Amino acid sequence: MSVRVGILGATGAVGQRLIQLLDPHPEFEIAALTASESSEGKAYRDAAKWRVDSPIPDEVADTTVAATDPDAVPDDVDLLFSSLPSSVGAEVEPAFCEAGYVMSSNSSNGRMDNDIPLVIPEVNADHLDLLEVQRDERGWDGAMVKNPNCSTITFVPTLAALAEYGLERVHVATLQAVSGAGYDGVTSMEIIDNAIPYIGSEEDKLENESRKLLGEFDGASLSHDGVDVAASCNRIPTIDGHLENVWVEAEDDLTPDAAAEAMREYPSLDLRSSPEQLIHVFEEPDRPQPRMDRTLGDGMSIAAGGLRESTFGLQYNCLAHNTIRGAAGASVLNGELLLEEGYL
C-alpha cells in the first residue's frame, strides 16, 4: 500500500529533484503536482523546463499541473512535499495544513517558528513531537515539518556527532554550488573564474537553524540554544555539492582521532532514504571534494575529512549534495519519518 503524495512547486529545481527521487520510491506514489498560475492546466512536460540528469518519468510528464491551492489537490493525497518560493510558501502552506494535509516542506518560511519542527531525522527525530504542540496551538488537522537549509544540513550532522564533547564555539566557511540558488539564480557572467563572498540571508540561516536543530525539546517547548556558530558564505563555480570548512572549540578535549571516531559511529536510521553510513570520514587530507564525493550514499551521505588540530581547537571539512541531502532528499526523508511515526 503506497502513500499518495503531492508536490507543491513541482516545476522548480527542487521540485524536479523531488520527482526524480519520488518516482521510483517504493512507499510513495506521485498523485498531484502543483505550480504557479502560468502552469495551471498544462501537462507537466509542457509546464516544466526539465533539467535533471534523467528523463522525465512518462506518467509524470502526462500529469496535468494543478493550482497551488488546497481545493485543487485531491483529498486522497496523504502527504505533500513543498518546494515553493518562501514568499509563496508563507502564504499558502498554512492553508494546506489547516485543510488537513500533512506536509514536509523545504521552503524557508516558518523554519524558525517555535511550533514547527525543523528536522534532520538522524539528528533530531525527537523534535517531531512538536507536532502535538503545533496542532494544539494552530488547531490544524494537518501538520507541517520543515527541513533546514542546504548549507545547514551539510555540517550539523558532524556537530551532532561531536555534541557530547560540549561544543562551545563553531566557525564555518561555506563554498556553495550554484544549484543552491535555483536554476536561474547565478548567471554565468557572475561566477566563471570568480567567487562571490555573499549569499543573502544564508549566514543567518546557518547560525539560527543550527541553534534550533541542536536545541533540547522537553516535550513541551524547544530551546534554541544548541550551539553558537559564526558563518561566512561563498558561492563558487561548482554545479552541485556544498563544501564547508569547520572549526570547533569544545569544553572537553577533542582530538582529531576522537572526532573521526565519533563521526564514523554516529548512527544512521532505517528510513528508506537514509544512507547506510551517515558520515563518511576520509583519511586523505584533500577530501572531500564536491565533484568526487557529492554522490556518496546516493547523495544522502555527509562526507567529512581533513580532521586536524587547529590553533583554537579542532578543524575539519565536510560536504553534502545540496539538492539531494540538502533539499529534495531531506524532504523525502522527513516524509519517511512522518510515515514511520504514524502521522500518515
| Residue 162 buriedness (CB in 10 A; 0-12 / 13-18 / 19+) | buried
Q: Does 166 bind a second copy (CB under 8 A)?
A: no
In the set 25, 97, 127, 150, the catalytic residue is 150
Least Å distance between CB 315 and a second copy?
A: 6
Which lies closer to a second copy via its Cβ, residue 268 or residue 289?
289
Kindly tell me which residue out of 275, 288, 297, 329 binds a second copy, with binding defined by CB under 8 A.
Answer: 288
Name the residue with cell 567529512: 304
Least Å distance between CB 35 and a second copy?
A: 19
Q: Is 97 a catalytic residue?
A: no
Neighbours of 203 (CB within 10 A): 18
- Pairing mode, strands 313-320 and 3-8: unpaired
Which lies closer to a second copy via its Cβ, residue 53 or residue 251?
53
Kindly list the distances between the CA atom of residue 295 and the CA atoms of 3, 53, 117, 302, in Å, as whole numbers in the listed order. 27, 13, 27, 10
Site string for a second copy, 238-267 (x = CB under 8 A): xx---x-x-x--------------------
Count of residues that bind a second copy according to CB under 8 A: 53
- Pairing mode, strands 279-281 and 229-235: unpaired
| Residue 38 buriedness (CB in 10 A; 0-12 / 13-18 / 19+) | exposed
Longest CA pairwise span in the chain (Å) = 60
Q: Which of 210, 218, 117 is nearest to 158 (CA)?
A: 210
Which grid coordinates belong to 16? 524536479
Which lies closer to a second copy via its Cβ, residue 72 or residue 239?
239
Stretch that binds a second copy, among 14-22, 107-115, 156-164, 189-197 (CB under 8 A): 189-197
Least Å distance between CB 232 and a second copy?
A: 4
Site string for a second copy, 65-94 (x = CB under 8 A): ------------------------------
Q: Sheet holding 102-105: strands in order across?
A: 66-67, 28-35, 3-8, 79-82, 102-105, 143-146
Compute CA 316 distance to the chain's CA centroid, rounded to the nearest angstrom: 21
Q: Does 187 bind a second copy (CB under 8 A)?
A: yes
Q: Does 198 bind a second copy (CB under 8 A)?
A: yes
Site string for a second copy, 93-132 (x = CB under 8 A): ----------------------------------------
Site string for a second copy, 296-325 (x = CB under 8 A): ---------xx---xxx--x-x--------
Q: Does 341 bind a second copy (CB under 8 A)?
A: no
Q: Sheet holding 279-281: strands in order across?
A: 229-235, 167-176, 242-250, 313-320, 302-310, 279-281
CA–CA dist 61, 45 (Å, integer): 5
In the set 127, 242, 280, 321, the catalytic residue is 242
Q: Does 229 bind a second copy (CB under 8 A)?
A: yes
CA–CA dist 186, 223 (Å, integer): 36
Region for residue 79 given its phi and psi (left: phi exceeds 0; alpha: psi -120 to 50; beta: otherwise)? beta
Kindly tell me which residue out of 46, 183, 216, 223 binds a second copy, with binding defined by CB under 8 A.
Answer: 183
Q: Does 64 bind a second copy (CB under 8 A)?
A: no
Least Å distance between CB 104 and a second copy?
A: 25
Site string for a second copy, 132-151 (x = CB under 8 A): --------------------
Under DSSP, the state recorded for 196 is: B
Catalytic positions are 150, 242
Residues making contact with a second copy (CB under 8 A): 51, 53, 169, 171, 173, 175, 178-179, 183-198, 207, 228-230, 232, 234, 236-239, 243, 245, 247, 285-292, 295, 305-306, 310-312, 315, 317
